[in-house]
Amino acid sequence: MIVFTPTIRYVAATGRKRILLNRHQHSARRGLIVSGPAGTGKTTAITQLGKHYEQLGRRRGEIQPKALPVVYVTVPPAATPKMLAIEFARFIGLLPSRYSQVEVTNKACDLLCTLGCRLVLIDELHNLDIGTRVGAEASDQIKYLSERIPATFVLAGVDVEGTGLFAGRRGGQIASRYSLIPTSAFRHKTADQRSSWQSLVATLEESLRLHAHRTGTLLKLSAYLHDRTGGMIGSLSHLVREAALDAILDGSERITKASLERVDLDESAEQQNLPRARRRRSRNEDHPDAGAAADATARPGRDHRFLPEPARRRQPPDHRAPLVADRPVATAPP
């Protein structure tokens, strides 16, 4: 279930306005870059934008039945310009491997123009290493594609503003055409921030279909849940879904603090609160069910140099707005 967080709503509203503004623009179309720490809902936000844009357009008959209004591709690691063009071609269903870079690019662009593509979503932008020649060429390729395809480009990646994407002559052009939408972990300091987090927890709890679960249990644990997950929506979603799965498998059909404690989270969430994670893990090892399972899941000593940087806490757009579960976005049509 997707919760309509302030970030999702902001990306949806801004994205739709960009599509409208770009509609009659022949060049220098304006785009968006969604950037923030891992697991803060970037992919979800841009794919929801694509989904709702297409659904609304089809419902209103503004999109032809055979059109392909939205394209979603991810930047492969160490992407070259040809690899990027191949990703577009694959999405359309072309088998491009025997073509040259120029041919694949031309075929993909021509077909996307014919199919009425209006929104291009490019994810995992941090895979572009602008500091290398290949990375810089791939970023030029994105610019070239955005000139050839009359669509709004929405890019997303982990903290991309720190990758040099906006630096130098190349970066200057990107900076002048794209607006940055930051994503971040939910905070839990002020009353407004706590209320926003509680709305998220309550919406997730309402989506549970456990026979013996008492609604309100998770809401009461919202401070604990924030502590466990560092306010990361991805970690919260994982924690609640895994605890729900455990409740179904063990037949208890309810989530409690003890069952949440037994869920192992991703490293970046656990790193937010190392002493608690250690205490929790040692308690889990004492748990009667832990025995063989603990042996099976035991991990060798971790080298923390390889762990991601702790999340930078930036305020996403208006966290105070109430949250709504998976509902079409009511914004002006293009």
Ligand X SMILES: Nc1ncnc2c1ncn2[C@@H]1O[C@H](COP(=O)(O)OP(=O)(O)OP(=O)(O)O)[C@@H](O)[C@H]1O
Burial class (CB in 10 A: 0-12, 13-18, 19+), 181: buried
Distance of closest approach, residue 321 Cβ to ligand X, in angstroms: 13
- What is the number of residues in the chain? 334
Q: Which of residues 27-56 bind Mg ion (CB under 5 A)?
A: 42-43
- What is the sign of the dihedral through the CA atoms of 125, 123, 49 and 152? positive
Q: Hunting for tokens 């870079």 — which residue is that?
A: 101
CA 47, 28, 66: angle at the middle one, nearest 5?
45
Q: Note whether 79 binds ligand X by CB under 6 A.
A: no
Look at strands 324-325 and 31-36 and give their pairing: unpaired
Pairwise CA distance, residues 105 & 88, whole Å: 8
Q: Note whether 237 binds Mg ion by CB under 5 A.
A: no
| Residue (22 or 48) nearer to ligand X, CB | 48
Q: Note whether 158 binds ligand X by CB under 6 A.
A: yes
| DSSP state at residue 121 | E
| Residue (8 or 142) nearer to ligand X, CB | 8
- DSSP, collapsed to helix, strand or coil, labels residue 75 as coil
Beta strand ranges found along the chain (DSSP E): 3-4, 31-36, 70-74, 119-123, 152-158, 178-182, 324-325
> 334 is in the binding site of which of ligand X, Mg ion, none (Cβ under 5 to 8 A by kind)?
none
> 52 is in the binding site of which of ligand X, Mg ion, none (Cβ under 5 to 8 A by kind)?
none
| Residue (43 or 271) nearer to ligand X, CB | 43
| Residue (8 or 84) nearer to ligand X, CB | 8
Is residue 243 within 8 Å of 230, Cβ to Cβ?
no
Is residue 151 within 8 Å of 116, Cβ to Cβ?
no
Q: Which of residues 212-251 bind ligand X (CB under 6 A)?
A: 233-234, 237
| Residue (44 or 198) nearer to ligand X, CB | 44
Which one of residues 5, 74, 127, 196 is an interface residue with ligand X (CB under 6 A)?
Answer: 5
| Residue (150 or 316) nearer to ligand X, CB | 316
Q: Note whether 182 binds ligand X by CB under 6 A.
A: no
| Residue (155 or 225) nearer to Mg ion, CB | 155
| Residue (29 or 42) nearer to Mg ion, CB | 42
Pairwise CA distance, residues 176 & 148, whole Å: 18
> 39 is in the binding site of which of Mg ion, ligand X, none (Cβ under 5 to 8 A by kind)?
ligand X
Q: Note whether 3 binds ligand X by CB under 6 A.
A: yes
Size of interface with Mg ion, in residues (CB under 5 A): 2
Q: Which of residues 37-66 bind ligand X (CB under 6 A)?
A: 38-44
Is residue 235 within 8 Å of 221, Cβ to Cβ?
no
Distance of closest approach, residue 279 Cβ to ligand X, in angstroms: 26
Distance of closest approach, residue 174 Cβ to ligand X, in angstroms: 20
- The two tokens of residue 202 are 């309550």
Q: Note whether 201 binds ligand X by CB under 6 A.
A: no
| Cα–Cα distance list, 297 to 27, 147, 264, 294 (Å) | 54, 50, 10, 5
- The two tokens of residue 76 are 């492969």
Q: Note whether 68 binds ligand X by CB under 6 A.
A: no
Q: Note whether 160 binds ligand X by CB under 6 A.
A: no
Give the residues lining the site for Mg ion (CB under 5 A). Answer: 42-43
Give the residues lining the site for ligand X (CB under 6 A). Answer: 2-3, 5, 8, 38-44, 158, 233-234, 237
